[in-house]
Amino acid sequence: MSTRPSVLIVDDSPAERQLMAQALRAAFPEALIETAAHSRAAKEMCAAAAYDCALIDYNMPDMDGMMLAHQLKTEHGYLATVLTTSFGDEMLAAEAMRSGVSDYIPKSRITTESLQRIVGRSIYACSQSRLIDEQRGEIENFAYALAHDFKQPIRQIITFAMLVGEQLSELDAGDAKRHLEFLRDAAARLGALVDVMSRYTLLNQPPELSDIDLNRVALGVKNSLASLLSERQGEFLTPEEAPAVRGNEILLSQILQNLVINGLRYNRSKTPRVSMSVRRQGAQVIIDVGDNGVGIEAGYLAEIFKPLVRLHTAAEYPGSGLGLTLARKAALVQEGAIWCESTPGGGSVFHVQLPAAPDQPTSSVEPRSQAKPPSNDNGGAVH
């Protein structure tokens, strides 16, 4: 906390303002202390100057202190707000803390020591929140820039490995060509990991949400995975009709694409099959993505969404170990959720929950089989 904190006292009583200012000056001799007689003046003063803390009387004629504290906190995120009241009941204290007030003190208990403790603690907590947010932003920017800078040398490694391999193709180079293939594959995996880490970092930013046509998203995922479906001789079954949801179309596409890729790759069936169905539950839409793959043991269901958790070796099933982590983050930032039910050897069902778009009818739709359309890409990294 600054050695010279700035505190705004908001109270409609001149006598109370004077007494509070005297107690604050005793607690913080170097503090800048100003007063406001009503909420309008308090909001104008906070807009004009950066205060460290606002001491707000709960019982004011124009607006109750809790509402004012909430408005000030919304407009000035790192302003400490301490509610004061003549009543001092614990129910008010609990409600104040739930609404985002930094702390609470009855006027009957205001002393130099209590103000020094409560105001000092509240200012310190808000300053730490600011510091954490600033450091998080710096780390995210650094990680994104680092990932971007990694891409160029990775591309060069892959390119030159391919060129050297082509020159050795006509020669009896022994293990050299095999070693170059290992080098190229390792560089490709590193490139995929960098891509995934970039997306992981970007998911810390709030996305733009809108109404999404699930039918269009499902068709887009099918098109993007056409080459993988052909390679694996697999099927992706989608519903004939699906309700619209509220979310981010790019992030939802990535979630479904990762789940479909996992269902096809973690699969020993002769015909790998992934089936998507949709159901409405109140104000929510549940997207069920099931497969006939290897399944997951119950003890690992909570672990699979953690970063870099792999249940199989890279030799068995390729992947970055971040696909399901990304899916979970993408669901959360869309105000949704994701979870899994599975039977070892009997496949898995991933459930993606998102808010329904407004004015959507209640319905359930079942998947249907579609021919594999032509496409070009088998899309992102997976678990």
Same domain, 140 and 19: no
Q: Mark whether 158 and 261 lie in a shared domain.
A: no
Among 106-115, 138-147, 168-177, top mean pLDDT goes to 106-115
Give the C-alpha separation, 179 to 175, whole Å. Answer: 6
Which of 179, 202, 225 is the last residue before a domain boundary? Answer: 202
**CA 346 to CA 366: how far, in whole Å?**
20
Beta bridge partners of 288: 277, 351
Ordered DSSP codes for 73-85 = HHHSTT-EEEEEE
pLDDT in tens, 152-164: 677 777 777 777 7
Q: What string of H, E and C letters represents the secondary structure of 37-65?
A: CCHHHHHHHHHHCCCCEEEEECCCCCCCH
Containing 105, the helix (H) or strand (E) segment is: strand 103-106
Residue 344 has pLDDT above 80, yes or no: yes
Co-location of 188 and 238 in the same domain: no
Residue with tokens 């694409």: 257
Structural domain range at position 297: 210-368
Q: Does some domain include residue 232?
A: yes
With H, G, I as helix, E, B as strand and everything else as coil, classify residue 87: coil
Instruction: Inform me whether the pLDDT recorded for 321 exceeds 70.
Output: no
- 217 has pLDDT over 80: yes
Signed CA dihedral, 135, 250, 336, 283: sign only: positive
User: For residue 242, what is the DSSP state?
Assistant: -
Whether 142 and 127 map to the same domain: the answer is no
Confidence category of residue 315, pLDDT binned at 50, 70, 90 = very low
CATH number, domain containing residue 52: 3.40.50.2300
CB atoms within 10 A of CB 105: 20
Residue 254 has pLDDT above 90, yes or no: no
284 in the same domain as 159: no
Overall domain count for the chain: 3
d(CA 119, CA 6): 11
- For the entire predicted model, the pTM comes to 0.48
Q: Taking residues 231-248, report their average pLDDT.
A: 88
